[in-house]
Chain A
Amino acid sequence: MNTLIAIIGLGVLCLLFEIFNFTKAIVPITIVGLLAVLGLTISEYNSTESYYNNMIVVSKFSTTFSSLFIVLTIFLVGLSHNFYEKHQSKISDYIAIKIFLLAGSVAMVSFGNLAMFFLGIEVLSIALYVLAASDRLNLKSNEAGMKYFLMGSFASGIILFGICMIYGAMGSFDVSDISAMSQSAELPIWFPIGIVLVTIGMLFKIAAVPFHFWAPDVYEGSPTMTTALMSTLAKVVAMATLYKLLSVMNADISESFKIVVVVISMASMTIGNIMALRQNNVKRMLAFSGISHAGFMLMTLLSLSTSAGSLLYYASAYALAGIAAFSVIIYVCKNRDNEDIVNFHGLGKNNPLLAAVLTASLLSMAGIPIFAGFFAKLVLFSQTIESGYLVLVIVAVVNSIISVGYYFKLILAMYTKEPNEEKKATPFVIYAVAVVAIVLNIALGLFPSLVLDLLP
């Protein structure tokens, strides 16, 4: 609870800074503020409390995931100063929107009432629509914002419809009430329908097949900074929320629902990977790769009671690798009108450190050992085999092999092609964010217990 209030306070403060003309200090102050919030969140780790008639429930699940979101936001805010160099006058808006987005994400993982959940998802989505269209003179960005808004509000509508159904069946928005009632033998038909509708809406936010069509266009059109945010923070938030929704409302999802999850998971991985193979634009490629990672993360829904730890671990590994990769992309594609692979030619010669960071983050996403991505997949596979879905694991393995194909396309371009432009200066922040994110990723790979043991 305190986390949420502190974050919103910070967001308001960001807006006030503009009035007092503090725009230069805004990034450092926000980062310091977020670090303080992070400390606050971690200190709440062991307390389980609920606030305001069960609107917000603070639990281990919510504190750990909130901490992850805050860490990701710190990285994203850190990159902002450099990215919005030409828009210094508006920087407080950009930062404030990101902070409010964070508030929405925290609300989404700590809700105790479906109304709060919907509030969270709307805060997050509206912030994202604005950010997607934030490069307002660019046609592509406008298109991305419009597309995302239309599709996203449609999904929000479906979620809302689902919530209504659940309310109709159970007569309550409170998840603990719903959970208690869902144990009873006879459930009104509206309840499963409601669950399905909410799940569909969330699958849209996660960009899982077949609700993924918006992702590539929106990722490509949005400013790179926003894409970074969508593919790391937003995706992880949506996944954690879906997990929480399904686990709090009905601990034991039915067999037929599990089959649907298996199919969606397989389809997301396969289609995401196969489409990614054909992309030349790095942002589009990462969009499809994100779809396939969503498929991997959906596997956690098959063993709801035991897989919170592995979801947290997978999410951290994926998001940290994503942050590292995007900070390099932001550097490379600055002042370019597209993000084609051609821009990465010869990065290994021009900027060996950043090339190494990008290589490491791609290797982590591909699941090569010692990077966190490997353990994430390992734990996931192990759990899925335990719950009896060997075929799904084999499909996932085949997909991991396919994914190497496009990740390595980028690595090869960096190391075997000749650079097509002179070396340009690299701002310190980019180095800092990229290196810290990848070091965290490797640290998680070396000591997986640090994160895996946080949640049961």
Chain B
Amino acid sequence: MNVSLILIILFVGALVTFLSGDKLASKVALFFGLAAAGCSIVLLNHFNLGENISFISQWITKPNVSFALKADGLSLAMVLLTTILTAIITFSSFGNVYKNAKSFYALILFMSFAMVGTFLASDGLLYYIFWELSLIPIYFITLVWGNGDVEERRKAVVKFFIYTLAGSLFMLVAFVYLYQKAGSFLIEDLYKINLSATEQLWIFLAFFLAYAIKIPLIPFHTWQANVYQKAPTVGTMLLSGIMLKMGLYSIIRWQLPLAPAAAHEYKYIFIAIGLAGVIYGSIVALRQRDLKKLLAYSSLAHVGLIAAGTYTLTLDGLRGAVLQMIAHGFVVVGLFYVAEIIFRRYETRVIAEMGGIRTQTPRFTSMFLILVMASISLPATFNFVGEFTVLYSLSQINIWFAVLGGTTIILGAYYMLRMFQHAMLGETNSKVFADVTINEGITLVVIIAVLLFFGMFPKPILDLITPSLEEILNQINRIN
């Protein structure tokens, strides 16, 4: 039994979903999503027992490319995040009716397939292929099922596509260059080559361009808010919950170990870029009137902090970043789902048109409040663990970095609570707000349960990711 099983389940799932017809599609997709999540948990179990669940086989002889999937703690954690969130996201869309549902759900599963592949691939080219493949489904999901004016949506999506493709093509050039040196795309072989300082810098920058656009980091973020707003909620969840984690994961897995000298040399600059995103995102979020846009900018601030954490090149920084990646994945999916729940009832995303919902649905309000609290890293939530580990690692580099990074929590508390106040509190709204349905309730409860459980007991995840992060850190520090 090895990790390729998850990929097979998701790919077959996408095909079966497409063939099952519009009526059954959502249920079939959920079934395969759950099967993939179950499969990854089983594989995690095998992995913990010390079994080898990696998979490798020669694919192309010239150039030398292998179909290599390597499962270590880090990639398994990301795979778990992807498969579980895919199931949750699929389930969360049950309340909506989509035309041509079979294609819609098939694309979700296909995207999940590509993302799982990205997290598992240990061959540079295979990784690149999965990385690019994940772009096509989200393009069509946003384009065809998105909301708002078609013309504006088209502009947003094309911008997004060209941006990300531009970044990743430079990454491809970097890979081809490395291949010329190593004669293979396998990550172990790529680690072995010795590059001069200038070569490392260019490789580092080429990777950075790809990841900075995907995450996104300042100043490559301009596609983000528009696409998040225009995409259907499912698309926004996929983008913010999982897809941007691909960029953060790749920094840890590919960029830092492949160009370690450049990473050490220029880390302050990249930490600064991450922190600039924190401050910029928070300040812009303060002024947003649209709930989805507000969440998009708050997400920009959070991922800036995560990126800064990875560039500290310390174990704490990497560990905090991975924890926060997982935590952010869940919380952001939860928050976008809340926005969707409100939209289903009020047909609006403008915060000013909401308000007074609390008196009508106290249950929904408390769930929303927990998510808001998690998003601003209140202790006992998962985000607290991640964010504070990152801030701790930043403080060890330079206390001012931690101070600047800390603004995400202060400003975050301000704009999130203000948003909550305007959206939920106040006088009873004259428009009726129906209580959450069972489906909506289940989704939110699952997300909240995960956030609270790991907030109080993060050890299982820490134990899973620490060994592989230490290994990567050894690679990063190999020259010094």
Chain A residues with CB under 8 Å of chain B are 309, 348, 363, 368-370, 374-375, 378-379, 381-382, 385-386, 390, 393-394, 397, 400-401, 404-405, 408, 412, 415-416, 447-449, 452-453
A382 to B63, CA, bound (A): 8
Residue numbers in B under 8 Å from A385 (CB-CB): 173, 176-177, 180
Say whether A378 contacts B176, CB under 8 Å: yes
CB distance from A274 to the nearest CB of B (A): 15
Which parts of B114-142 form the interface with A (CB within 8 Å)? 125, 128-129, 132-133, 135-136, 140
Say whether B61 contacts A401, CB under 8 Å: no
A405 to B159, CA, bound (A): 9
- Name 16 interchain pairs, CB-CB below 8 A, sorted by A: A348-B144, A363-B136, A368-B132, A368-B135, A381-B172, A381-B173, A385-B173, A385-B177, A390-B177, A397-B170, A401-B165, A401-B166, A405-B158, A408-B161, A412-B143, A416-B143
B176: contacting residue among A381, A408, A448, CB under 8 A: A381
CB distance from A351 to the nearest CB of B (A): 14
Contact bitstring B138-169, A, C-beta under 8 A = 1, else 0: 00100110000010011000100110011001
CB distance from A386 to the nearest CB of B (A): 6
A447 to B61, CA, bound (A): 10
Residue numbers in B under 8 Å from A370 (CB-CB): 129, 133
Residue numbers in B under 8 Å from A453 (CB-CB): 61-62
Interface of B is mostly: helix
Say whether B165 contacts A404, CB under 8 Å: yes
Given the known interface contacts A369-B133, A404-B161, the answer about A397 and B172 at a Cβ–Cβ threshold of 8 Å is yes
B132: contacting residue among A369, A379, A394, CB under 8 A: A369
A209 to B128, CA, bound (A): 32
A375 to B185, CA, bound (A): 14
Q: How many A-B residue pairs have CB under 8 A?
A: 76
Say whether A452 contacts B62, CB under 8 Å: yes
A382 to B135, CA, bound (A): 23
Residue numbers in B under 8 Å from A379 (CB-CB): 63
CB distance from B2 to the nearest CB of A (A): 20
Say whether B180 contacts A378, CB under 8 Å: no
A404 to B167, CA, bound (A): 13
Say whether A404 contacts B162, CB under 8 Å: yes
A368 to B132, CA, bound (A): 7
Q: Tell me the nearest residue of chain B to A409, going by C-beta.
A: B158
Residue numbers in A under 8 Å from B60 (CB-CB): 375, 447-449, 452
Residue numbers in A under 8 Å from B176 (CB-CB): 378, 381-382, 385, 393
A363 to B135, CA, bound (A): 12
14 extra interface residue pairs, beta carbon distance < 8 Å, beyond A385-B177, A393-B173: A368-B135, A369-B132, A378-B176, A382-B180, A385-B180, A400-B165, A400-B169, A405-B162, A408-B158, A408-B162, A416-B143, A416-B144, A452-B62, A453-B61
A214 to B157, CA, bound (A): 35
A412 to B173, CA, bound (A): 28
Residue numbers in A under 8 Å from B143 (CB-CB): 412, 415-416
A309: contacting residue among B62, B128, B172, CB under 8 A: B62
Residue numbers in A under 8 Å from B136 (CB-CB): 363, 368
A379 to B170, CA, bound (A): 15
Residue numbers in A under 8 Å from B144 (CB-CB): 348, 415-416
Q: Tell me the nearest residue of chain A to B162, going by C-beta.
A: A404
A397: contacting residue among B61, B154, B173, CB under 8 A: B173
B401 contacts chain A at the CB level, 8 A cutoff: no
Residue numbers in A under 8 Å from B63 (CB-CB): 378-379, 382
Interface residues on chain B, size class? 20 to 34
Residue numbers in B under 8 Å from A405 (CB-CB): 158, 162
Question: Which 4 A-B residue pairs are closest in the complex by CB-CB distance?
Answer: A369-B129, A369-B132, A401-B166, A397-B169
A71 to B170, CA, bound (A): 34
Residue numbers in B under 8 Å from A448 (CB-CB): 60
Most buried by A among B60, B165, B180: B60
Residue numbers in A under 8 Å from B132 (CB-CB): 368-369, 374
Say whether B125 contacts A378, CB under 8 Å: yes
CB distance from B431 to the nearest CB of A (A): 32
A211 to B187, CA, bound (A): 44
Contact bitstring B58-94, A, C-beta under 8 A = 1, else 0: 0011110000000000000000000000000000000
Residue numbers in B under 8 Å from A416 (CB-CB): 143-144, 150, 153-154
Q: Tell me the nearest residue of chain B to A393, going by C-beta.
A: B173
Given the known interface contacts A378-B63, A415-B143, the answer about A369 and B162 at a Cβ–Cβ threshold of 8 Å is no
Residue numbers in B under 8 Å from A378 (CB-CB): 63, 125, 172, 176
Residue numbers in B under 8 Å from A415 (CB-CB): 140, 143-144
CB distance from A70 to the nearest CB of B (A): 25
CB distance from B92 to the nearest CB of A (A): 25
CB distance from A323 to the nearest CB of B (A): 22
A382 to B128, CA, bound (A): 15
A394 to B166, CA, bound (A): 11
CB distance from B163 to the nearest CB of A (A): 9
CB distance from B151 to the nearest CB of A (A): 8
Contact bitstring B170-197, A, C-beta under 8 A = 1, else 0: 1011001101100000000000000000
Residue numbers in A under 8 Å from B62 (CB-CB): 309, 449, 452-453
Contact bitstring B303-318, A, C-beta under 8 A = 1, else 0: 0000000000000000
Given the known interface contacts A382-B180, A408-B161, A412-B143, the answer about A394 and B173 at a Cβ–Cβ threshold of 8 Å is yes
CB distance from A269 to the nearest CB of B (A): 14
A385 to B153, CA, bound (A): 38
A385 to B182, CA, bound (A): 13
CB distance from A176 to the nearest CB of B (A): 28
A229 to B279, CA, bound (A): 57
Given the known interface contacts A363-B136, A385-B180, the answer about A401 and B172 at a Cβ–Cβ threshold of 8 Å is no
A378 to B168, CA, bound (A): 13
A127 to B354, CA, bound (A): 71
CB distance from A300 to the nearest CB of B (A): 15
Say whether A369 contacts B128, CB under 8 Å: yes
Residue numbers in B under 8 Å from A386 (CB-CB): 180
Residue numbers in B under 8 Å from A309 (CB-CB): 62
Residue numbers in B under 8 Å from A363 (CB-CB): 136
A318 to B136, CA, bound (A): 20
Residue numbers in B under 8 Å from A368 (CB-CB): 132, 135-136, 165
Which parts of B342-360 form the interface with A (CB within 8 Å)? none
Residue numbers in A under 8 Å from B135 (CB-CB): 368
Say whether A449 contacts B61, CB under 8 Å: yes
Q: Tell me the nearest residue of chain A to B135, going by C-beta.
A: A368
Q: Tell me the nearest residue of chain A to B63, going by C-beta.
A: A382
